[in-house]
Structure 1
């Protein structure tokens, strides 16, 4: 049996879908599983023992021009057809993923409960027991629909031995001695509405130092670089800056060795939850029931605003959404988690 999983989009979204690969192979060990992903998240899937092949969908090449689309469509379609897929799982539920599922030629196609852009006309929406629950379980409901049992929810992320050996050196060079206790803080998020104010992070950073826990900021891109620069300027003690200084797999190893993760609804924070690292997620435009840290939603802190769960990238009211979450609330939650460890 040949199975195609289509999950594109952001790193956090792909992390949420990872347990589907394990569920499929747990139930159908002889199945051949192929995953279609966009370039930013491809690294997460490399060396996954439950994925046999990876097809990269380079959206930019298709959107660049009509010529670009025509030049890339044929080879991409042939690559899909070569998989001889029996089943396609569209975990994206958008027009582009629906097209990929359709052109795969799979006679059976299933999607999530909340499909959009007419994708429900291509793949059958699965409205399972968890249709109002966490997004991880909604994806697993799609796997259950093709007969998968889910005895264990596992987020397979395989870090190479080389990266495991490199990470302590990266940390030491940045200011975290081997054996030191440290916390990872995700400074940014794709949505401006999901970012905690930099002055709050600066205060939390200094507080962590006072607890003998080194604050380590992670992220990527120019926006995150500017945010951590603001934090550095506002903090009494400069935090450790690893923004843009690790690969995704190296970041996973950094997170695995941390005492706690703090951040908004963003990829590195979901990665921490998947790795079972204690995770404090700060939430406003999205809700913890659907998007909170999987397996530890009690560690989500949601804003006390009547307009929360708006699902807007930027606040239509002009509010700094997460500014309603006070530093003291986060400190209290971290202390609760630390006490449980002792």
Structure 2
């Protein structure tokens, strides 16, 4: 398993003293977090490496540009989607602009045409993909030889890196610290009270946990002495919970990450915040059912996965509360010793 991230700074020196690497993983938030062990391993193996990450604008806050990545190449897909066919000009200029970095290596950690085209136009000397999703992607970037569809996504990503060379460094994901945001948001709950953050939305309806069940879980956590913060995007219908901090639809991604990083405990369905919690070393309870947890669960030893029958909605709130309580108590015992 990937342990909690260690402190790290990018080494000084000439960029040519290490490999020059392009990583293409555009989205989604959780998948980008699960891609972070790849550049983290490269950075620790070769501190003077020159790393560029091509990523969509809506996910760019996931990338640490202080300790990990030298250049965050932001694909402005939110704007370009509105332009229709006219967006091809800006897209081509974006991809071609990467060529100036003269990459040694390129990794397509998504396998979609957009990421394959990114690598094709950037022209790294050697490339590998975790597996193209269509014929064009497979033609542009060779797929990894050791692909196993049952592998966890983090392990698959690291296996792809291994096909490009020897990178023995620790793979604990290096995520942005956002210390100033964390300090500001900590004023929203009592200093001595442990915070349980709940991500009450999900990217797809079949992954979602019902609002009324989240409300029951939240009320149980408040009764157990937690401060509770609710997280979710503007499309999420937040449950009405007296005493809870309602951040739903009010925070940017980096602010939501800061809340998760400040939490004593995080609970989420199969969505990006669970992976963020794992990356920060925060104990996490994950609710699955629609997707295989063996491949997509948060990659951590400090977590619990509950699997419903075809959907997390089949899980009873009492099960979720019990799992959260036991995980919290386990961590409290570990700290006390």
| TM-score tier after normalising by the smaller chain length | 0.7 to 0.9
Question: Do the aligned partners of residues 6 and 254 (structure 1) sit closer, same or farther apart at CA in structure 2, a change above 3 Å counting?
Answer: same
Please give the alpha-carbon distance, in whole angstroms, between the structure 1 residues aligned to 2:179 and 2:211: 35
Q: Is the 8 A contact 1:88 1:108 kept in 2?
A: yes
Structure 1 equivalent of residue 120 of structure 2: 102
Structure 2 equivalent of residue 115 of structure 1: 132
Structure 1 equivalent of residue 59 of structure 2: 41
Please give the alpha-carbon distance, in whole angstroms, between the structure 2 residues aligned to 1:36 and 1:93: 13
| TM-score using structure 2 length | 0.86
From 281, 285, 304, the counterpart of 1:280 = 285
Please give the alpha-carbon distance, in whole angstroms, between the structure 1 residues aligned to 2:56 and 2:265: 29
Question: Do the aligned partners of residues 54 and 160 (structure 1) sit closer, same or farther apart at CA in structure 2, a change above 3 Å counting?
Answer: same
What whole-Å deviation, never above 9, does each CA across 1:144-163 have from its counterpart, x for those lacking one?
11124344221212224422
Is the partner of 1:154 in helix, strand or coil? coil
Instruction: Establish whether residue 325 from structure 1 lines up as the match of residue 315 from structure 2.
Output: yes
Question: Do the aligned partners of residues 302 and 127 (structure 1) sit closer, same or farther apart at CA in structure 2, a change above 3 Å counting?
Answer: farther
| Alpha-carbon distance, 1:183 to partner | 0.5
User: Aligned ranges for residues 1-342 of structure 1 at < 5 Å?
Assistant: 1-63=19-81, 64-70=83-89, 72-112=90-130, 114-118=131-135, 119-128=137-146, 132-169=150-187, 171=188, 176-221=189-234, 223-224=235-236, 227-228=237-238, 231-232=239-240, 235=241, 237-296=242-301, 299-304=304-309, 308=310, 321-340=311-330, 341-342=332-333
Question: Do the aligned partners of residues 145 and 86 (structure 1) sit closer, same or farther apart at CA in structure 2, a change above 3 Å counting?
Answer: same
Please give the alpha-carbon distance, in whole angstroms, between the structure 1 residues aligned to 2:243 and 2:113: 45
Q: Is the 8 A contact 1:48 1:157 kept in 2?
A: no
Please give the alpha-carbon distance, in whole angstroms, between the structure 2 residues aligned to 1:160 and 1:279: 20
Please give the alpha-carbon distance, in whole angstroms, between the structure 2 residues aligned to 1:20 and 1:334: 30
Q: Is the 8 A contact 2:111 2:129 kept in 1?
A: yes
User: Greater CA deviation, 10-19 or 41-50?
Assistant: 41-50
Is the partner of 2:95 in helix, strand or coil? helix
Q: Where do 5+ consecutive residues of structure 1 fail to align?
A: 309-320
Aligned length: 312
| Alpha-carbon distance, 1:60 to partner | 4.3
Q: Is the 8 A contact 1:34 1:53 kept in 2?
A: yes
Please give the alpha-carbon distance, in whole angstroms, between the structure 2 residues aligned to 1:185 and 1:280: 10
Please give the alpha-carbon distance, in whole angstroms, between the structure 2 residues aligned to 1:238 and 1:165: 21
Question: Do the aligned partners of residues 48 and 16 (structure 1) sit closer, same or farther apart at CA in structure 2, a change above 3 Å counting?
Answer: farther
Please give the alpha-carbon distance, in whole angstroms, between the structure 1 residues aligned to 2:301 and 2:145: 24
Question: Do the aligned partners of residues 149 and 92 (structure 1) sit closer, same or farther apart at CA in structure 2, a change above 3 Å counting?
Answer: same
Q: Is the 8 A contact 2:57 2:78 kept in 1?
A: no
Please give the alpha-carbon distance, in whole angstroms, between the structure 2 residues aligned to 1:165 and 1:239: 19
| Alpha-carbon distance, 1:127 to partner | 4.1
Please give the alpha-carbon distance, in whole angstroms, between the structure 2 residues aligned to 1:151 and 1:27: 4
Question: Do the aligned partners of residues 254 and 150 (structure 1) sit closer, same or farther apart at CA in structure 2, a change above 3 Å counting?
Answer: farther
Q: Is the 8 A contact 1:144 1:150 kept in 2?
A: no
| Alpha-carbon distance, 1:191 to partner | 0.8
Please give the alpha-carbon distance, in whole angstroms, between the structure 1 residues aligned to 2:103 and 2:221: 51
Q: Where do 5+ consecutive residues of structure 2 fail to align?
A: 1-18
Q: Is the 8 A contact 2:182 2:262 kept in 1?
A: no
| Alpha-carbon distance, 1:8 to partner | 0.3
Query: How large is the RMSD of aligned CA atoms in angstroms?
Result: 2.0
